Structure 1
Amino acid sequence: MHHSLLLALCGIASAFSVPRQASNSTKYAVKTPPLTTPWTYTAGTDPWPEYPRPQLQRSQLQSLNGIWTYQNASSLDAINSLPSGQLANEVLIPSCLESGLSGIQGEYTIYSWFATSFDVPSTWTGDRVLLNFAAVDYEATVFVNGRNATFHRGGYFAFTVDVTDYLNGNGQNELLVFVHDPTDSDPYVIPIGKQTLRPSHIFYTPCSGIWQSVWIESAPASHVTQLDIAAGMDGQVNATVSSSGNSSAQVQITVTDRKTNTTVATHNGASNVECTFSVQDVSLWSPDSPTLYDITVTLGDDVVTSYTGFRTIARGEVDGIERPLLNGEFVFQFGTLDQGFWPDGIYLPPNKEAMVYDLQTLKKLGFNMLRKHIKVEPALYYQACDEMGILLFQDMPSLRPSQQRTLDNCTVETVLPDAAQQDEFARQLELLIVQQRHFPSIVTWVVYNEGWGQLVDYYPEFALTDRVKQLDPTRLVDSTSGWYDHGAGDFSDNHHYANPQCGSPFYSIASAPYDPSRIGVQGEFGGIGQNLSIEHLWNVQGAIDTINQTYEIDTTIEAWNYRGHRLLGELLDQVKMYSCSGGIWTQTTDVEGEVNGLLSYDRRVLRPDVGQWQADIQNLYDAAAARNNASMPAGGG
């Protein structure tokens, strides 16, 4: 850790004029992005009012989303001297500093200060006040009333700090956050996914700062800190209620049928230990019937609500072929490569309506799955997938992908993690599993994508896969999606453009041959593009210049749909003839210089002939169902 951050964590205290939302800061306004969406100018200044953590909700909360102040900092050393006045600009929180919606639309926003103020409701007197950040990219040091409250590293993960002891007895409290986001600047090798400081074709504008919701909530001294629930098709519930302090406390878990609002089970147990109980005659969760059950947990005076779905993910042999099983049946999983970028918000959609629009579009076309590609979304996204019945392959955001550096002796080397950076990747992979494992829609974890950041002098995916299975034995693991596959995990995953090579006796050198001891899936294929007029394109010349790097360009929408039909027909043959168990089409939307989406980047153009695509996708499910005579599951849970 940088020495200045160490100093900060030791609790720097300094007298300073507190930063406020001040009249002399540059006023907030949406900056015109290179491309808008239908929601760009409707997001407003009270963004994302929904409770941001649907799997652990409390009744007493106060959103801190809205207009904060911001100013750029020169270096990490800036943290040693807290700002002495109002920050220079108003900024919308949550947002990416690089986005038009932030009001900043910055570049190289590597060091940043953010500030706001808040009052604690008088009704919270006697309780603890918890400050929550859903995600800050990449390192955040949080000061409350000038005192260091916490430090967090990892751009995709939530963190909470009890700030009760830092609060003023009466009146306003000042919140100041220093953010360091190096992205892919040297010497940093950190999880960034598709973000880069030098956008080009398949690598895009980065996201820096407080890009997900911030809120405070009231909780008693003894309170729930984490809730882990896994519910299987047999009605069995495995639950762990973690609480503040190390000692066990009495807890009560109540399960309610959401459709009838009737209690179907009540279990009394203790916190900080796993408990198991059963619910009779449950309705199962699946893409065709995404049934959810509400959960209430009571620990003393703390009452939190959550939900779950009863379903079992496993792998098993079906007529001699390894298959993914959902509730004991082979269900063909077909989805899109979903990157989750927005022209106006970059990593964050303008609002929930916009976010859900993408999912509704995929569901309408007939997709039952998507691969969340080397990005982690806000929790409300996963809740929407749970409610709509969309299976998820969830990627771990990759370390610096496909980059090289030139050394002083003029030799060129591939950028790979050193031992400490690899350890940090593993730590953040654990955060991903622990924070997302309670969403029923997630069925598979993906560790590495196409060798990006994957060490080659040994095979770290084996130990990482084992760790993922320890943390979550209820799901499958796709250890290497494409490229350097040494046999780890549950999937034999092929990437090939444009034609699929799924579970088949033919392959290209970019992916290993199909391994019949594991599940055969097409982790990426398609990628066919069709150019658009400038009003639907990311209007940045460098991006426009890379459009012809798209895997295939079809000159008319009719040709694009014809090619889609032919490629889906090839995949259908591989389902009927060989061992294909799932496929992922590239991609949901265009992104910057890529024009191979089902939707344009502005979400205003839908390329597919809806009836044709619905029929072609249904044919895949029907062909898989015709081969579905499942034997007993092996593995999974």
Structure 2
Amino acid sequence: MAAVNPSIPRPEYPRPQMVRPAWINLNGEWEFEIDHGSSGKQRRLFEAASLAGKITVPFCPESKLSGVENKDFMRAVWYRRTIDIPSDWSGGRVLLHFGAVDYATEVWVNGKSAGTHRGGYSSFSFDITDLLESGANVLTVCAEDDLRSGLQPRGKQSGLYHSHGCDYTRTTGIWQTVWLESVPRQYIRSFKLTPDMENGALHIDGEFIDADGFTLTAEGLFDGKIVGTESAVVSGRQARLTVKLSERHLWEVGSPKLYDLNLSLRNGGSTVDRVESYFGLRSVKWDNNAILINGKPVFQRLVLDQGFYPDGIYTAPSDEDLKRDIKLSMELGFNGARLHEKVFEARFLYWADRLGYLVWGEHANWGLDITTAQGLQQFLPEWTEIVSRDYNSPALVGWCPFNETWDNSKGARQDNEVLRIVYHVTKSLDATRPVIDTSGNFHVVTDIFDVHDYEQNPEKFAQHYEAMRTGGERFVTFKDRQRYEGQPYFVSEYGGIWWNPGQADEKSWGYGDRPKTEEEFLARYEGLTLTLLENPYICAFCYTQLYDVEQEVNGLLTYCREHKFNPDQIRKINATVAAIEKQFANAAK
């Protein structure tokens, strides 16, 4: 792993599945200016000698950790700093990377445009080699953000001035690590890693810059021992190869055996480029009743994770905070999470891979109008970047591009073709994972049928699923808008039990009536959860939610990640052997 500078915020290497040693973290203090009128380009702020204020990157200006803490809408924001390029980087290319910037970004180097990007959640980069000058170079960034336009995904960022209900403080501009990378003139641009558990192999599809005729060599290792190697010649911009593994070690839930991977690009006898990576050998399949991990039904005991932090908003204060959220969830007996209405940073998936924690990838679609084909134009380019970035994660076991695609304020319905096209494009990019077209409603074409059910009375909740226990009719919400067609069945949001004793209630929000005592809360949690675990035709649940977020106080933890309940009590309920797992165990005897 490349070296880090602990004196700057979020100093760790930001792209752990594709590591090179020559990089510079640009987090820390930048010049900063709010551009409420979005007139900065006309005023040519990209040529300005300075900006009016300061900010700490990568924290958004709404956050306390940024040093700005402006909670109002900001139509555009500007960033400026100088960068120095090490002398030993000469002769190669210099790439400027952004983990994420919300929403529409333009970047200038020494007053000249390096490129633009649209999308607040996907990672992007520019080759700035030809714009660099000797000595200090000026880097300027403008981010425009209009989440009330209906033309961009905003997720759970509030469209009103104040946070309210299940919408929270906004994020504008840079919110993930900014960094420089030195690469050779001919280099490995990207690669897809597809594990093949049945054949004990790894399939690799690489993309390259100016490397036609060069050779890609892949070397797989387990515990430092080489267990497979293969080479292929680059044809044009691509190369494809399969590494047959001499030892088979499976990545499994809670037991995540991982291989190391070295990729080398060679020209003749010389190594031109080299990157380090890793992979997990595992399979994901689905049949009429179950989602199978490595051929076995694993009941997915998921929890809703919204990826918000009191001081950093969208950005975790530290890498350890990302890891800690996963460990807290696992300590409560969950084996994974829906990463909800937000695309989490690559470091979160890295820790999920390392800890054996299942995740579902989801876009932040709320706020985007998908009642016409224009929604597809605004959504699809960024979504394809998201799928490509996270494809290699063994922890990621499913995609969910949309969540609760409600009719808009004028009563216009979703354009079903938008969902249908996004589903099919996702499948074309990744045939190895199930895709849920829209979680909860309104399904058009989906591999997994899921519902959201916030009934708080355990007896009434159980009645919804009673017929299913013996293979009868599946409970379907909004029967006039969607229908069950034999897929695995997933209750992907339930619970949301409101619990905030001793706190002010003016803005507090949760689902249904509040339990009067902790004992009543636990009885309700147990009743709802066991209804799902004990049903042989339900393959997964997702409880709302892991921790409180601002005024939404239905977390099992507080917003500051303190336990509200004895974790042993929650873990004991979640650890109940699911009916679908019992069936498999009995059949295997």
Query: Structures share a fold, TM > 0.5?
Result: yes
- Partner residue in 2 for 1:10: none
Equivalent of 2:41 in 74, 79, 88: 79
Residue 382 (structure 2) aligns with: 428
Is it true that 1:213 corresponds to 2:177 in the alignment?
A: yes
Match for residue 624 of structure 1 among 577, 580, 587 = 580
| Counterpart secondary structure, 1:79 | coil
Q: CA RMSD in A?
A: 2.3
Equivalent of 1:268 in 204, 207, 231: 231
2:486 is matched with which residue? 517
CA distance, structure 2, for counterparts of residue 224 and residue 246 of structure 1: 8
Quick one: which amino acid aligns to residue 52 of structure 1? P
Tell me, yes or no, if the aligned pair for 1:109 and 1:181 is still in contact at 8 Å.
Answer: yes
In the alignment, what sits opposite 1:224? Answer: 188
CA distance 1:80–1:608, shift in 2 (3 Å): same
CA contact (8 A) 1:330 1:630 kept: no
* Aligned residue in 2 for 1:328: 295
Are the aligned partners of 1:46 and 1:66 in contact in 2 as well (CA < 8 Å)? yes
Query: Which residue does the alignment assign to 1:159?
Result: 124
Conserved? CA contact 1:61–1:215, under 8 Å: yes
Tell me, yes or no, if the aligned pair for 2:103 and 2:172 is still in contact at 8 Å. yes
Per-residue Cα deviation, 1:223-282 (whole angstroms, up to 9, x for no partner): 11112111121222111121113735211111111xx21111111113413222321231
1:144 corresponding residue in structure 2: 109
Instruction: Encode CA deviations 1:488-534: one digit per residue, 9 max, x unaligned.
Output: 12111011013475666463644778736100010100100111445
Q: Is residue 207 of structure 2 the alignment partner of residue 245 of structure 1? A: no
Say whether 1:182 aligns with 2:146: yes
The answer to whether the aligner puts 1:482 opposite 2:447 as a matched pair is no
Q: Report what 1:507 is aligned to.
A: 475
- List gaps (5 residues or longer) in structure 1: 1-42, 402-414, 538-543, 632-637
Identity of aligned residues (%): 31
Greater displacement, 129-138 / 195-204: 195-204
Partner Cα separation in structure 2 for residue 520 and residue 602 of structure 1: 33
Q: Which residue of 1 aligns with 2:23?
A: 61
Q: Is the 8 A contact 2:370 2:414 kept in 1?
A: no
Partners of 2:560 and 2:313 lie apart in 1 by: 12
Work out whether residues 136 and 211 of structure 1, in 8 Å CA contact, stay in contact via their aligned partners in 2.
yes
Question: What's the offset of the Cα at 1:196?
Answer: 2.2
Query: Are the counterparts in 1 of residues 123 and 385 from structure 2 also a CA contact under 8 Å?
Result: no
Q: Report the residue type matching 1:310 in the other structure.
A: L
Q: CA deviation at 1:57?
A: 0.9
Q: Distance in 1 between matches of 2:196 and 2:159?
A: 44
CA distance in structure 1 between the partners assigned to 2:7 and 2:534 by the alignment: 51
How many residues matched? 553
Instruction: Give the residue type in structure 2 aligned to 1:343.
Output: P
Task: Verify the 8 A CA contact 1:256 1:293 in the aligned structure 2.
Answer: yes
2:356 to 383, 389, 406: 389
Q: 1:461 Cα shift?
A: 2.2
| Structure 2 residue aligned with 1:442 | 396
Q: Please state whether the residue corresponding to 2:255 is helix, strand or coil.
A: coil
Paired residue secondary structure (1:342): coil
Structure 1 CA distance for aligned equivalents of residues 559 and 132 of structure 2? 44
- Is the deviation greater in 557-566 or in 360-369? 557-566
Task: State the match for 2:566 in structure 1.
Answer: 609
Q: Which residue of 1 is the match for residue 168 of structure 2?
A: 204
1:99 aligned to 2:63? yes
- Residues 125 and 559 from structure 1, CA distance in 2 versus in 1: closer, same or farther, beyond 3 angstroms? same
* Counterpart residue type for residue 114 of structure 1: Y
Within the candidate set 514, 517, 542, 1:553 is matched to 514
Q: 2:526 aligns with which of 540, 549, 565?
A: 565
Alignment deviations for residues 521-548 of structure 1 (CA, whole Å, 9 cap, x no partner): 10100100111445xx8xxxxxx53425
* Amino acid paired to 2:246: Q
The aligned amino acid for 1:609 is N
Q: Could you tell me whether the CA contact under 8 Å between 1:226 and 1:243 is conserved in 2?
A: yes
1:496, 1:510 within 8 Å by CA — same for their partners in 2? no
TM-score normalised to structure 1 length: 0.83
Instruction: Tell me what 2:32 maps to.
Output: 70
Shift of 1:372: 0.5
State how far apart, in whole Å, the 1-side matches of 2:501 and 2:524 are. 17
Contact 2:102 2:120 in 1 (8 A): yes
Letter in 2 for 1:587: Q
**Post-superposition shift, 1:563?**
1.6
CA distance in 2, matches of 1:261, 1:276: 20
Cα separation, partners in 2 of 1:630 and 1:424, compared to 1, 3 Å: farther
8 Å CA contact 1:328–1:630 kept in 2: the answer is no
Distance 1:625 1:471, change over 3 A: same
**Take 1:161 and 1:630, find their aligned partners in 2: how far apart are those partners?**
55
Q: Decide which of 322, 341, 354 is 2:308's aligned counterpart.
A: 341
What is the CA–CA distance in structure 1 between the aligned matches of 2:453 and 2:483, rounded to whole Å? 13
Q: Output one character per residue of 1:191-221: Cα deviation in whole Å (capped at 9) or x when no partner.
A: 1111123131111111111100011111110
Provide the rounded CA distance (Å) in 1 between the counterparts of 2:555 and 2:6: 28
3-state SS of paired residue (1:599):
coil
Equivalents in 1 of 2:289, 2:477: separation in Å? 23
Q: Are the structure 2 counterparts of residues 45 and 136 from structure 1 closer, same or farther at C-alpha, using a change threshold of 3 Å?
A: farther
Q: Which moved more, 1:517-526 or 1:244-253?
A: 244-253
One-letter amino acid matched to 2:573: D
Give the aligned residue type for 1:147: K
